Amino acid sequence: MESELEKLIKKYRDLGIDRQLDYDKFYLYSIITHSTAIEGSTITELENQIMFDNGIALKGKSLVEQNMNLDLKAAYERVLELSSEHSDVSVAGLKELSALVMKNTGSVYHTVLGDFSSSNGDLRLLNVTAGIGGKSYMGFNKVAACLEEFCKTLNLKRGEAGSMTVQELYEMTFDAHYNLVTIHPWADGNGRMARLLMNWLQFEFQLIPSRIFADDKEEYIKALVETRESDDMSIFRRFMTETMTRHLANDIDAFEKSIGNISLAKTDTPTTGDKIIALLRKNPRHTAKSLAEAIGISAKGVEKHLLKLKTQGKIRRIGPDKGGHWETNQDN
């Protein structure tokens, strides 16, 4: 049974919201603006558009705020490359991304164990408080090993993505966000890095990326704290699912009002996805290889289209990769 989130994603895509001109660019600018706003930036989406597209410094905005947004944009551009390459998540890769996030706003720290720089993506060599009540994140001496194990476990889960529902894929990305911020590998930038990793995975699996708005900050932090204190991942999953469901519903409502509630007309030319669905209806036991041969594209290309169709709720896999079969949504 489809979740409310899955139903809204299907409607969002059926309306063609994510096929509009420059959609990817402006959605990315929105993600960046809200991620930095959670960290105190007052720069708006429109101001980021001006700064990103025209290279114009913003009057009345601090250099720190502007660099925070420019650096995060560079990190997201790198993540888009990594997601398209299906690169493994690694400690070295996360440190590279952290260095981009903190490039112009990081600091050098002096400890008894030596100096380290957040601008270089260095893992912390000091302990960090987790807020009121005297609690702290894990000891710095455990960070490297925990981060290595985190990457290993996450990569194994990524390998199982083909058998997951859209809801389960999102929950995997939410879990990655929570687990990274809980390890708290760096002295600064952990929140931006956790949201960046979550979006990296969502880009990879062709999901609509999650945004956490500045208005959600209080509930967002509360969900993280309550999840950590109760050791109950369902709390953060529920917050993220409900938040994304609300944002999608708002986006759909705004889109429908802006176009007079007229859905985009479907093209007469069948897309690759349409061809795959037609073939699966005739033979539900098609493999990526046999579909590739029938359509005339690579097997890897077919796999990407299959994953996209799954996230759109148009097809689903029943049973294992070997011996299972495909089911199509008859409404397509």
Residue 117: band (very low, low, confident or very high) from pLDDT cuts 50, 70, 90: very high
CA–CA distance, 121 with 212 (Å, rounded to integer): 24
- Amino acid of residue 27: Y
CA–CA distance, 6 with 12 (Å, rounded to integer): 10
131, pLDDT greater than 80: no
Residue 180: band (very low, low, confident or very high) from pLDDT cuts 50, 70, 90: very high
Tokens 């931006």, residue? 192
The gap between the terminal CA atoms of the chain, to the nearest Å, is 17
The pair of three-digit structure tokens given for residue 113, joined into one six-digit string: 């164990």
The domains located in the chain, with CATH, are 4-257 (1.10.3290.10), 272-328 (1.10.10.10)
pLDDT tens track for 159-178: 999 999 999 999 999 999 99
The pair of three-digit structure tokens given for residue 135, joined into one six-digit string: 């609690």
- Amino acid of residue 237: R
Question: Would you state the pLDDT for residue 266?
Answer: 47
CA–CA distance, 206 with 161 (Å, rounded to integer): 12
Question: Would you state the pLDDT for residue 242?
Answer: 97
pTM: 0.80
Contact criterion met (CB below 8 Å) for 138 and 183? yes
Dihedral angle over CA of 208, 210, 216, 221, nearest 10: 160
Residue 260: DSSP 8-state: T
- Give the residue from 159, 230, 252 showing the smallest Cα distance to 201: 159
Over residues 286-309, the mean pLDDT reads 85
144, pLDDT greater than 70: yes
Angle at CA 76, nearest 5°, toward 150 and 60?
Answer: 125
Contact criterion met (CB below 8 Å) for 213 and 240? no
Over residues 316-325, the mean pLDDT reads 84
